[in-house]
Amino acid sequence: MTDQPEATADLTGNPLLCAEGLPKFDQIKPEHVVPAVKNLLADAEQALSALEESIEPTWDACFAKLEEIDRPFEYAWGPVSHLFGVKNSPELREAYESVLDDVVQLGLRASQSRQIYEACVAIRNGSDWETLSPTRQRIVEKKIQSAELSGIGLEGAQQERFNEIAQELSQLSTTFSNNVLDATKLFELVLTEQTDVDGLPESALAMAAQSFNQKQSERVAEAGDDPESVDEATPESGPWRFTLDGPSFLPFMQHCRRSDLREQLYRAFLTRASEGDFNNEQNINRILALRQEKSELLGFSNFAEMSLAKKMAPSVAAVEEMFETLRSASWDAAAADIEEIRELAKSEGVTDELKHWDVAFWAERLREKKFDYTDEELRPYFPLEKALAGMFDLVERIFGIKVQQSETAPVWHEDVRYFEVLDSDGSNIAAFYLDPYSRPENKRGGAWMDDCLGRKLIGSNVQLPVAHLVCNSTPPVGDKPSLMTFREVETLFHEFGHGLQHMLTTIDEADAAGISGVEWDAVELPSQFMENWCYHKPTVASISGHYETGEPLPDELFEKLKASRTFRAGSMMLRQLTFGMTDMLLHGGFEPPQEGDTSGETVFDVQRKVIEKTSVLPMLQEDRMLCAFSHIFSGGYAAGYYSYKWAEVLSADAFSAFEEAGLDDEEAVAKVGRRFRDTVLALGGSRHPMDIFSEFRGREPDPAPLLRHSGLA
């Protein structure tokens, strides 16, 4: 275990050691990490040893004590891990990585405790089992399963090897994530000629000029030069700086008229973290090899089988059956999508063969032609403030809660905001942080929800849940507020859906409250459910308002937006299936080549096999998308990316309950909404998700609503 903290280490005032209220994000610095975490690890080791010596097979003597040991880490390691994703720096990395092995080792130590495992088994087999609530019974069962999947049954050299694998996988995950962040941050495309940016919308040019100025300021500061000596970029005359960050990359691919520049940016995006100091290829091979070895040590044929042992899907075969059902329903539509794009390009005088970097551009032109609107026409109607106000109004109507901003919470960046969630009687039931904007210099890409504090009993008091909602939306530019793309609005609703499940839980047991204990492939149900409201006319009226006039989105634009919902649905479905099927194949027994071996099948060969079935356009030879596939190599989606589609079946069917009640019938919607809140959102991991879904819906899920919503029925 970790060494005791040095006697000279001053822990006085260390914000990571304050285990009450909210984490002190405004005070936490990299130098606080090592002494605080080492101190907690030493305390936890002692507490764990004491528990093992005196443990009895009862709930209070086992699980209540384990919660006491875990709680300080919620205030220390939790905030550090969070800041690692949203305020990354060389100093924080060094501190984080210097204690990571010890944190992993403590987790293994606890999960492989023979005394705790035997106590759990004794509880399950004891005469008092039936007196435990169903929630506690499920927690005990999951604790036993978790111990077995953590190598509790291994002994001697096998357990030692299992632990070595866990340590190495943790380090590889961190390295993979850092490489993606650094490779993304490293690339820039600076343009100076007006003809280079023809076709790009005003918002993209303004953000590109602002990005150039920010980067210039950093360089000037590093060099110690006079800031007054540098000319500022303007949206009208440039220079313009484009990056691989989503809010910069996507508009460029959709609107830049120069195919050669689109190709340059596209190839850079496709090969992120695949060369030089940030090359993730060998990290991928090593991760896959270690996961396979780990699964074999536990008696599974491959990592996919091991992953599904604790998920909702019953088997790999069931996942593959879903893949094929959705793939076959989507292929013809996707082929027609590409043909339409080709024909449009030809009609505009393009004689070259359609390339991968042309698809987004011509698809956007086709969408504009079909539905007669552009993303840029929508953007002014979706300032962040209005989208938030409308979203909060929606959940008040359907779930009976009220959201209000508070200025009292410590934050890690000036853009971060804090909101409290009140029940219908005015009582405070939860809260959340919102970190809305892209910051490619120190914040990883994508969007996510994570728990800051979980609901649990502390003595006789309930600790209320607090969530982190993190997006990478378009930031304010100049004197304009954050004007969101419609996809960014959907993402906001998506992450808020995750947050609702964390915040509206009524379970007081930490291991089953909110998303804790929820099978991974059911976690996306509330998030994808919330996205459906973005196409409900009254909701759109409430989340939209022109940033200058306040005018809601015109009816004509809404109807076009709604009609475009299924635009290229076949192509979008196949894109998601590409990720999911590749993930499952890589974790289904594939043997990656050893370093230096060029004769065997590579991970990119596996990707190519999948793409032959899921893409009308063949895979580019240099495609290295997997090197930046953080979801499965540094996130929680290994052999689980299928969860998005699995849960989308559930979410579409859940939303159809509201459709059946009548979306414009406020009373009926509120009644169904209350049932959704009391089941899906409230019960968390206290019961199997199929039981919870069936209680809400009155039956098991039906895939028909998903195909109908996608226009693929």
**Residues identified as active-site:** 495
Please work out, in degrees rounded to the nearest 5, the angle formed at the alpha carbon of residue 191 by the alpha carbons of 188 and 197: 115
Q: What is the DSSP letter of 2?
A: P
Distance (Å, whole) CA 455 – CA 372: 48
Closest CA to 473 of 432, 441, 499, 435: 435
Distance (Å, whole) CA 50 – CA 495: 40
**Other beta carbons less than 10 A from residue 27's beta carbon:** 13
Distance (Å, whole) CA 81 – CA 636: 14
| Chain Cα centroid distance, residue 261 | 30
Q: DSSP labels for 195-238?
A: GGGTT--HHHHHHHHHHHHHHHHHHHHHHT--GGGSPPPBTTTB
Distance (Å, whole) CA 690 – CA 681: 14
**Other beta carbons less than 10 A from residue 574's beta carbon:** 24
Distance (Å, whole) CA 273 – CA 244: 12
Tokens of 310: 């604790």
Distance (Å, whole) CA 10 – CA 482: 43
Which residues does residue 467 pair with via DSSP β-bridges, in sequence order? 432, 451
Which residues does residue 458 pair with via DSSP β-bridges, in sequence order? 461
| Chain Cα centroid distance, residue 3 | 34
421-429: which pairs have CB atoms within 8 A and are 24 or more residues apart?
421/503, 421/504, 424/400, 426/402, 428/464, 429/401, 429/464, 429/503, 429/504
Residue 466 near residue 433 (C-beta atoms within 8 A): yes
Burial class (CB in 10 A: 0-12, 13-18, 19+), 79: buried
Residue 456 near residue 508 (C-beta atoms within 8 A): yes
Burial class (CB in 10 A: 0-12, 13-18, 19+), 328: exposed
Residue 233 near residue 239 (C-beta atoms within 8 A): yes
Q: DSSP labels for 273-302?
A: TSSGGG--HHHHHHHHHHHHHHHHHTT-SS
CB-based contacts of 395: which residues, under 8 Å, 6+ apart? 401, 403, 496, 500
